[in-house]
Structure 1
Amino acid sequence: MPLSNNVIGCINFISVLLSIPVIGAGIWLAMGTVNSCVKLLQWPVIILGILILLVGLAGFIGGFWRITWLLVIYLIAMLALIVLLGILVGFIYMVTIRGSGHPEPNRAYLEYSLQDFSGYLRRRVQRSYKWDRIRTCLSTTSLCPELNQSFSTAQDFFNARLSPIQCVNSLIEEN
């Protein structure tokens, strides 16, 4: 039994060490940029890093010092994290399952449409609050800010039926 506790402690010590760069990346995202696309990720990354750190510390301390109640908390927390990750993966799969794109003539890439995705995702993206955040994110990109800012609502953007290459072509024509 002591060997298994030491193995649990070592594995969790490694997870504690690996959580530090995750937290650092979240802090770097918070400090380093003003891009609104990146700002959406900063808090989930920081929270994920802190959760990994706390669970890893519980497993490390419980494993090396043989604190049974801390190992029980560690196992419950690890089970909860695994279940939540499974639910997240399942949810993402269900929302995007039909969004595989369809081929268009004379194009080497697949064409995607909002109608290809689930109704939940369509309603969520088309809400004015969410669309304002998406539009702000698109307008901060250096690829095509003037094109992205010309759509006042999400429906205008989706009705435009733009191909991914149209933005690049408009930039080439301008230069």
Structure 2
Amino acid sequence: MVHISNSLTSFLNFLTLFISIPIIGIALWLHYQTASDCEQTLLWPIIITGLFLMVVALLGLVESCCNASCFLWTYLFVMFVMIVGLFCITVFSIVVANKGVGEAVSGKGYKEYKLGDYSNWLQNRVGDFQSWRRIKSCLIDARVCGGLQLLVFQNSNDLYSPALSSIQSGCCKPPLSCGYKQVNATTWKVPKSGPNSNDADCKTWSNDQNILCFDCSSCKAGVLANIKVQWRKIAIFNVCLLVFLIATYSIGCCALRNSCKDDQYLRYN
């Protein structure tokens, strides 16, 4: 019974190594297959997490094979650092992404988003000119507004009846408050009297397919709304990973205690 924790730790390390290999492999494959620089950049955190898991698992397996307490100490230290780091990242992502929600438009299948509804930290991430230029380039390359023609019906009142994504809502059309008349999926006509609102996004909008509302605050807000959804998914994954790592760490501590008891027994006998 004394060495059950040691055997269980070895099994969990094998499981961790088994999990880390496909994570790294799939992330690397996607990294070299995706055409967008933004998509490639977003994969790096996944690759780093997979590598960290692999290092932790290998340290644990080496300790199991060599039965060296120094490897076990290193294994537990690295895992502790990973748990603390993952916990901080998870809490930070939940706190930062907790603020901000889209406003449902009555009779339409989409929401409208305002940049000021999000945390200052998130606003600063898209407020920087260089950062936003890269994000905008990715949105244009991905043709996020290219599929809107499929959502248009003959009756103008039914335009965009299906739900738009947050990015499509913010970047592919002017804000509803502008009062522009829709001609087709991405073409809008400005009333002779001008926009109904003083919102700067009304003047920023252009029917040019490479401009549209990609420089609008509503577009930045739509991007943040999409990031918020992704962060929630990552937070759920991180919580599950934390539970697994904490359980493994606890069993590893038991293995260390057993190892110390064995060393004491051999020393005095």
TM-score of the two chains, using structure 2 as the length reference: 0.53
Post-superposition Cα deviations, 1:46-92, rounded to whole Å, max 9, x if no partner, equal: 22211110001111221343221111111111111111111111111
Shift of 1:161: 9.6
Once residues 58 and 219 of structure 2 are traced to their aligned partners in structure 1, the CA distance between those partners, rounded to angstroms, is 51
Shift of 1:109: 4.2
Change (3 A) 1:161 1:20: closer
Matched-pair identity in %: 30
Corresponding position of 2:16: 15
Structure 2: unaligned runs, 5 residues or longer: 147-170, 173-208, 224-269
Matching of residue 69 in structure 1 with residue 130 in structure 2: no
Change (3 A) 1:12 1:159: closer
Once residues 130 and 220 of structure 2 are traced to their aligned partners in structure 1, the CA distance between those partners, rounded to angstroms, is 22
Corresponding position of 2:88: 87
Once residues 109 and 50 of structure 1 are traced to their aligned partners in structure 2, the CA distance between those partners, rounded to angstroms, is 39
- SS at the partner of 2:216? helix
List structure 1 runs of 4+ shifted beyond 6 angstroms.
160-164
Matching of residue 158 in structure 1 with residue 217 in structure 2: yes
Matching of residue 144 in structure 1 with residue 145 in structure 2: yes
Once residues 219 and 142 of structure 2 are traced to their aligned partners in structure 1, the CA distance between those partners, rounded to angstroms, is 19
Structure 1: unaligned runs, 5 residues or longer: 165-175
Q: Which has the larger radius of gyration?
A: 2
Q: Is the 8 A contact 1:9 1:61 kept in 2?
A: no
Q: Is the 8 A contact 1:15 1:56 kept in 2?
A: yes
Once residues 113 and 127 of structure 1 are traced to their aligned partners in structure 2, the CA distance between those partners, rounded to angstroms, is 17
Corresponding position of 2:192: none
Following superposition of structure 1 onto structure 2, how do residues 1-175 of structure 1 map, counting pairs within 5 Å? 1-144=2-145, 149-150=210-211, 156-158=215-217
TM-score of the two chains, using structure 1 as the length reference: 0.79
Structure showing greater relative contact order (alpha-carbon pairs closer than 8 Å, 6 or more residues apart): 2
